[in-house]
Amino acid sequence: MDSTTEVLDDERSGDGVTGDGGADNRVADDRAPDDRLPYDRYVHADTLHRLQRTTTDNPGEMSFLMISQIMELYFKLIDFELRAAQRALRGDEVAAALSPLRRAALHLEGLNASWQGLRWMSPADFNRFRANLGDASGMQSAMYRHLEFRLGLKTASLTRPHRGNPEQHEALRRSLAEPSVWDDAIAVLARHGYDIPAALLDRDHTVEHEPDTAVEAAWADVLADPSPDNHVRRLADALTEVAEQFAEWRYRHLSAVRRAMGAKSGTGGTNGIGWLEQSMNRVVFPELWSARTRV
């Protein structure tokens, strides 16, 4: 395997929070392990329940904070599954990549359902604690940025807000430079005999993939083959589910912002709805969608 595979296997990738639950990811409990019930010892429930430190007494802030934390955990879980799928794809084990991709899609469903807990929040409700957020914004989430990079949405400038944390910044730069899931899927096409330009297989992965007609034609051929043993077709189906669920995530995010703050500027300095609408125009796995017109 190449060096990018080593990065995928590195438990410290993503500022120490995208690994497989190793010692670096554990948070010490105040009590000796022997004083804890086995469930708490395994789940670290006491630690989790001490992390909800609101800045106001407003109950809406508790909802906002906890759901944000739940989303962070989902980002990590989805990224974990996508990295497992990439390892399989790079080993040309297409069938083995299907399960982590399907799990990633299911986890994205769970992530999307998290927005339900904030549907009650009106602009007046949000304003009761919004000022206490200061410049904090979801767009500053390092784990979400890892997830976007993993899905092929590459924007180098979005690593800059993390320069104050050198370890986190370097982890993001590594994720930016790695092939995305889509890059690895295109490489699978080439290994399976499809005519993929060499320039697409050996390129600067810090730059977002541009849709290519050869890739589109290859996926059209894959989608047109109904053979039950066509693992590449099953790969296309699994990738489609991931892409659909991620698109749903972005739509629900936009809807939640509209509901809670209208067209106000975002707390992180973005133009709020405008930023989110623009981001929705960037399609995940683009040729997987355009190929359907050819079939």
Structural domains in the chain plus CATH codes: 3-293 (1.20.58.480)
Alpha helices, DSSP H only, in 164-281? 166-177, 181-191, 198-201, 213-224, 231-261, 273-280
Mean pLDDT on 222-230: 91
What pLDDT is attached to residue 13? 40
pLDDT at 15 exceeding the cut of 50 = no
Q: Tally the C-alpha atoms within 13 A of residue 9's C-alpha that lie toward its C-beta.
A: 9
267 is an annotated ligand-binding site residue: yes
Rounded to an integer, what distance in angstroms lies between the CA atom of residue 271 and that of residue 204? 30
What pLDDT is attached to residue 4? 40
Q: Tokens representing 243?
A: 């892409």
What pLDDT is attached to residue 35? 76
Rounded to an integer, what distance in angstroms lies between the CA atom of residue 45 and that of residue 189? 44
Rounded to an integer, what distance in angstroms lies between the CA atom of residue 261 and that of residue 256? 8
Read off φ and ψ for residue 26, nearest 5 degrees.
-85, 140
Q: State pTM to two decimals.
A: 0.83
**Which is it for the CA torsion 67, 73, 78, 82, positive or negative?**
positive
253 is an annotated ligand-binding site residue: yes
Asked if residue 215 lies in contact with residue 192, where contact means CB atoms within 8 angstroms, the answer is no
Mean pLDDT on 87-96: 98
Asked if residue 221 lies in contact with residue 193, where contact means CB atoms within 8 angstroms, the answer is no
Percent of the chain with pLDDT over 70: 83
What pLDDT is attached to residue 140? 84
Least confident of 86-95, 122-131, 245-254, 273-282: 273-282
What pLDDT is attached to residue 190? 98
pLDDT at 16 exceeding the cut of 60 = no
